[in-house]
Structure 1
Amino acid sequence: MTKTVNLSKKKVNLAEILSIVEEGNEVIITKNKKRVAKVIPFTTEKKERILNQFKDKIWTSVDFELPIPQEYWESEN
């Protein structure tokens, strides 16, 4: 659930906002009807890593580990 707090209408109590967020909700902070911040719960869950998810999507040159020739650094291109 998302709750909106307007800074223009009242003093915002940080403890109140944090209490809402600790319950798992998001808080949108607005000022003069414009969104200025979004406070969301902190998560420490790690996303599952998928083995080989980038297989055949990344290409590395065969000479990738070789030094770059000095001529490259001295050219004007």
Structure 2
Amino acid sequence: MARWLVESSDRLYADELFLSHEFLSHMLGVRRSGITETAHLLEKKGLIKCGRKKIQIIDRQRLEEASCECYRVIKQEYDRLLKFKV
């Protein structure tokens, strides 16, 4: 979930993502209750803040660290293919 949130943030150029737990559960192929539990955990750690159909990334660096190591590989490849430099 952490990787999906930072990737979405990258594509939208925003730290506020307007989506529901239900939508995330469909995208990640897990039960909605699993999204809610994970969101509460990430929120408790101060990485995100959840509202109704909105997730705000509070600490992006730590959220990236919480995601799998494949995030950096995916980001580098995406940037290379689009020749996009940040």
> What TM-score results when the alignment is normalised by the length of structure 2?
0.26
Q: Which has the higher relative contact order, 1 or 2, with Cα contacts under 8 A spaced 6 or more apart?
A: 2
Structure holding more helix per residue: 2
Larger Rg: 1
